[in-house]
Amino acid sequence: MTGQATDDPYGTPVEALAERLGDDAEDARRALDRIAEDGAVTEAAVTDAVTDAAGAVSTVENRTDRAALLLDELRDAADPVADVGAVAGRLDRFEDRLADLQADLAALQSDLVSVRDRTAGRGPLALARAIRDVKTRANRAHRSADELGADVESAEAWLDDPAVRYDEFDADVDALDAFVGDAAEDAAALADGAATDPADLWADAVLRHRVVGLLLADLRAELDDLQALPGGSAPDRAAAAADRLDALADRREDLGDRLDDAADPAWRDRHGDRLRAAAAAFDARDPPVDWGAVHAALDEHRPDP
């Protein structure tokens, strides 16, 4: 018997229920512990567990409402410059994250109703697992809502202060510089014959080379936007930033040459479909781009480790 109803489970020891109901007795035991007191399932413990899950969902609702309010305030503050790409891109990404969060909240609220009505399953194990699932997802959504709120507040500081904007820009250039450096190390390993799987390493470096081009274009567009924002000209910082981007472009070109020199025709045959699919995915993106989404697309197309 696996996870279905028994006679009245209340008062039944968790160990006994876990053995009778669980395909995975250890997982069943952990789930049932949520609705148990002194080692036995009790109605009071079920009520407490449902109340706890309901509290977690309520917290997600409050945090989501707070993030939405902060985003409304940011949108109002950004209205005079909302047509600037760097501003519009941030607002769009926040809107997407809020929409995802609100969808998660709606699903949690619906599942909580099922848990409260004890319709989550026909037996104590199914109910215990449903309560656990709601609580786990609520905790995850809570973190996402807090992260969104913090990011929106940071964006308001970015909007208000040119120094913050250039500091963030420099941090992005630093990250891209390190990314290029890692790819350059792999190109050196290919040239030296030190790679254990040169075909995969070459394809991976080629993909990263393409990503660098996309992110470099994004940074150039962002630099133009920074100079268009009020108080954003900061000629010394803008000039220094432009010089860094030019240096990165030179490094990227050198990396491309080294990868071309190292390439074996068999590697191109082996990974041609992968590289063409990745190129299509990256070429479909125009600045401003979501760097997290770009790296996720890169991971999707990289050779399996």
Domain ranges in the chain are: 14-160, 162-301
Token pair 């609220």 is found at: 109
Which phi and psi (to 5°) does residue 23 adopt?
A: -60, -40
Cβ proximity of 130 and 122 under 8 Å: no
Distances (CA, A) of 82 to 91, 159, 268, 290: 8, 11, 44, 17
The residue among 152, 161, 154, 132 whose CA lies nearest residue 35 is: 132
Q: pLDDT tens-digit profile of 88-143?
A: 999 999 999 999 999 999 999 999 999 998 876 668 888 999 999 999 999 999 99
| Per-residue model confidence (pLDDT) at position 23 | 66
The residue among 134, 135, 127 whose CA lies nearest residue 35 is: 127
* pLDDT > 50? residue 3: no
Token duo for residue 71: 């985003």
Give the span between the Cα atoms of 130 and 109, in whole angstroms. 13
Give the span between the Cα atoms of 161 and 151, in whole angstroms. 15
Task: Return the higher-pLDDT residue of 121 and 207.
Answer: 207
* pLDDT > 60? residue 170: yes
- CA-CA-CA-CA torsion for 128, 133, 134, 138, nearest 10 degrees? 140
| Per-residue model confidence (pLDDT) at position 22 | 59
* pLDDT > 70? residue 4: no
Token duo for residue 230: 């009020």
Give the pairing type, strands 36-37 and 40-41.
Answer: antiparallel
Cβ proximity of 20 and 51 under 8 Å: no
Q: pLDDT tens-digit profile of 5-63?
A: 445 567 778 887 777 765 678 888 888 888 889 888 888 999 999 999 999 999 999 99
